[in-house]
Every structure is written in structure tokens, then in C-alpha cells.
């Protein structure tokens, strides 16, 4: 995973969140280690969430974690508190503000139903035109074959 991909995951997850329940300003900087090393921030301001690929010097919280851990948190596979309590992330600053992320109402991506194989409708049999009574042919009469008398054998 690249740094750009990780920031996109965070933007897709948090950038569309409803922050109406968060009444105060929150700024969290994420220092990323691992393959996607870099820094980005998440800011909650005036009921909106912003995720940008920059450092935030006047931040409330500084979170340091591996790229894979942050991707798991963003995708919902790992909770922020559990990641902190298990030592997967390190955080310093006003941790109460970091917990306000739980108040964000994330919009779940609508799952698209898997494309079903198009079932072919059974081939329609062509309807035969009704035959009028006058057009009907009378069934052929079977006439018994005439028996020819067997020739008498000459003695």
C-alpha cells in the first residue's frame, strides 16, 4: 500500500462522515510508519470532517502507527480504543478528543449485489397458427392390400 492509497482510504472513510454530534474542534495528526510512511491529519470543524495529507502543528492528538493498522482502523476491522490498548498505536496529547472520533457517524458504502448470471428465458415455442376446419385434411384411409390368389402349383 502506498501513502496516497492510505490517505485515500482515510478520506473515503472519514471525509463523508456526519460530524453533527461533535461540538468541538478536533485535530489529529497521524504519523504513519511502514511502507506508506508519511503524515496526514484529520480535522473535525463546524460539523465537517477534513482529511488532508499534511502535518498539523497545532494538533490536539498525535497518533503514530503502522500503515496496515491505520488501514484496519479506517476500514472498521479494528477499533481505535482496542488498537491503543493493545499497543498497536501510540497516542499523545488530549486523548479525550481522540475518543470523539467514535461520535462520527460513518456512512457505510452501499454493498452492491453480486451480478447474477442472466438466466436465459426458455426458448418460446412458436405458436402454430390454428388450422381451420376446412383446411384440415381428412386422415388417409387405410385400405387393406388386395390379396391375390396364390397360384396353384402344377403337379
Q: Convert the pLDDT of each residue in 46-77 to its tens digit.
A: 989 999 999 999 999 999 999 999 999 988 89
Residue 153's pLDDT is what?
A: 54
Assign residue 9 the CATH number of its domain. Answer: 3.30.1050.10
- The residue among 1 and 135 whose pLDDT is bigger is 1
Single pTM value for the model:
0.66
Q: Is 128 among the domain residues?
A: no
Residue 105's pLDDT is what?
A: 82
Question: If pLDDT is split at 50, 70 and 90, which confidence band does 82 have?
Answer: very high
Domain count across the chain:
1
Residue 138 has pLDDT above 90, yes or no: no
Q: Is 97 among the domain residues?
A: yes
Q: Is 55 among the domain residues?
A: yes
H/E run at residue 32: strand 26-33
Q: Provide the 10 A C-beta neighbour count for residue 86.
A: 11
Which domain, by its residues, includes 9?
Answer: 3-103
Q: Is 121 among the domain residues?
A: no
Q: Is 27 among the domain residues?
A: yes
- The residue among 119 and 63 whose pLDDT is bigger is 63
Helix-strand-coil split of the chain, %, nearest 5: 25, 20, 55
Residue 69's pLDDT is what?
A: 96
Task: Give CA separation, 99 vs 26, 111, 139, in Å.
Answer: 10, 28, 92
Of 113, 139, 138, 6, whose CA–CA distance to 66 is shortest? Answer: 6
Q: Is 148 among the domain residues?
A: no
User: What spatial distance separates the first Cα and last Cα of the chain, rounded to whole Å?
Assistant: 112
Residue 7 has pLDDT above 50, yes or no: yes
Q: Is 53 among the domain residues?
A: yes
Residue 120 has pLDDT above 90, yes or no: no
Sign of the C-alpha dihedral, residues 125, 131, 137, 138? positive
Average pLDDT, the chain: 79
26-33, strands of its sheet edge to edge: 48-52, 38-45, 26-33, 61-66, 89-93
Q: Is 150 among the domain residues?
A: no
Amino acid at each position: 500500500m502506498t501513502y496516497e492509497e492510505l490517505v485515500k482510504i482515510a478520506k473515503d472513510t472519514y471525509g463523508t462522515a456526519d460530524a453533527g454530534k461533535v461540538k468541538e474542534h478536533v485535530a489529529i495528526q497521524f504519523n504513519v510508519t511502514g511502507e506508506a510512511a508519511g503524515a496526514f491529519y484529520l480535522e473535525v470543524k463546524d460539523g465537517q470532517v477534513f482529511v488532508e495529507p499534511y502535518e498539523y502543528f497545532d494538533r490536539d492528538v498525535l497518533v503514530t502507527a503502522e500503515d496496515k493498522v491505520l488501514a484496519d482502523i479506517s476500514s472498521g476491522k479494528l477499533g481505535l480504543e482496542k488498537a491503543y490498548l493493545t499497543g498497536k498505536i501510540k497516542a499523545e496529547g488530549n486523548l479525550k478528543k481522540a475518543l470523539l472520533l467514535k461520535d462520527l457517524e460513518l456512512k457505510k458504502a452501499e454493498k452492491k449485489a453480486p451480478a447474477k448470471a442472466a438466466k436465459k428465458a426458455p426458448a418460446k415455442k412458436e405458436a402454430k397458427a390454428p388450422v381451420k376446419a376446412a383446411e384440415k385434411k381428412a386422415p388417409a384411409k387405410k385400405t387393406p392390400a388386395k390379396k391375390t390368389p396364390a397360384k396353384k402349383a402344377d403337379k
